[in-house]
Amino acid sequence: MSRPAVLCILLNFRTAEMTLRAAEAALADLHALGGELVIVDNASGDGSYEVISREVAARGWGEGGLVRVVASPVNGGFGAGNNIGLRMVMSDGQAPDYYYILNSDAFPDAGCTAALLTHLEAHPKAGIACSHIRGEDNLTHTTAFRFPTIAGEFVGAARLGFIERMLPEAPVPIPQPETTQQVDWSAGASMMLRAEMLKEIGTFDEVFFLYFEETDLCLRAARAGWSCWYVPDSRVVHIGSVSTGMKVKRRMPSYWYDSRRHYFIKNHGRAYAVAALFAHLAGGILHRLRTAIAGRKPQDPSWFLRDLLTHATTPYRQSSEDRT
């Protein structure tokens, strides 16, 4: 019996050296599986494609099709860039059985990809398996979640313990599981996808430039009967926000608001999206009242509630998949 074909996808945007470091870690872990790697440069425009191509050749990674480097003509965002890889096959022309999406600033521990593959192979209706993520400081990142809801928007924005106790199933983040557990969705920094599932539900919705695209994919999978799993034996170190610069930005970028609104309208309709917006605003106002009384600053980025409300009044372009 032949072993499953695994194709790893690394998306680069102006982080060539970091991407090469991630590629080295991925290849070390993929070796035992006989997997291959494709690096997609997302129209970096800074020479990244040339640097990565040169290094892949110099290190001998390109021999036998082990590593391929492709260039996207435009930067369509996370989903669009990864979709280039999700349309590719193995170097021998075989269709992959699984695609492993890895962030360019994420570094798998030994056995990381094998743990995801083993779980998916053992559970035929498991379509998605995601890793335990930790920072360079060894602290666990919150990466296992429930799907966003109206109640979840209110609870998450309010940040009040008594409200969370009243609505215990509402918060989007869940306590990070210590054993393998089915979850609604998990972060896409280290995510293995079953090719059979993608044939049924499609790949990433490219209307999302960044954020919410993996949430949307997991929701589409769940609605089609596929499950998503958090596999803590699969472990990855993730630096986070290297390409986006979100660690140093004080204000949320407009594409976050675009993605949030698209997620709610597409998956739940306009009326639900409006209700989710006002739930978040109400929770955010409660949070600000509490912090003002306590003499502390709100935990949200600068201008967050105003930007959220202002953005909700801008024109919205629906994709063909959106609900009306």
Q: Which CATH class is domain 6-140+176-234?
A: alpha beta
Pairing mode of beta strands 98-102, 190-194:
antiparallel
d(CA 195, CA 279): 37
Q: What is the pTM of this model?
A: 0.94
The pLDDT assigned to 247 comes to 47
Given the DSSP bridges, would you call strands 185-186 and 98-102 parallel, antiparallel or unpaired?
Answer: unpaired
Domain ranges of the chain: 6-140+176-234, 144-173+249-324
Q: How far apart are CA 204 and CA 206, in angstroms?
A: 6
Is the distance from CB of 29 to CB of 20 less than 8 angstroms? no
Q: 227 - beta bridge partners? A: 126
What was the pLDDT predicted at 242?
A: 52
Beta-carbon count within 10 A of 126 CB: 21
The predicted pLDDT at position 240 comes to 76
Contact present, 133 and 143 (Cβ < 8 Å) = yes
**pLDDT at position 250:** 82
Sequence-distant (≥ 6) Cβ neighbours of residue 167 within 8 angstroms = 151, 154, 155
Which residue positions in the chain have pLDDT lower than 50?
A: 243-248, 320-324
Residue 189 CA to residue 238 CA, distance in Å, equals 8
| Rg (the chain; Cα; Å) | 20
User: What's the pLDDT at 320?
Assistant: 39
DSSP string, 187-204: -TTEEEEEHHHHHHH-S-
Spatial separation of the C-alpha atoms in residues 302 and 306, rounded to whole Å: 9
Distance of CA 228 to the CA centre of its chain: 13
Determine the pLDDT at residue 322.
Answer: 39
3-class state of residue 309 by DSSP:
helix
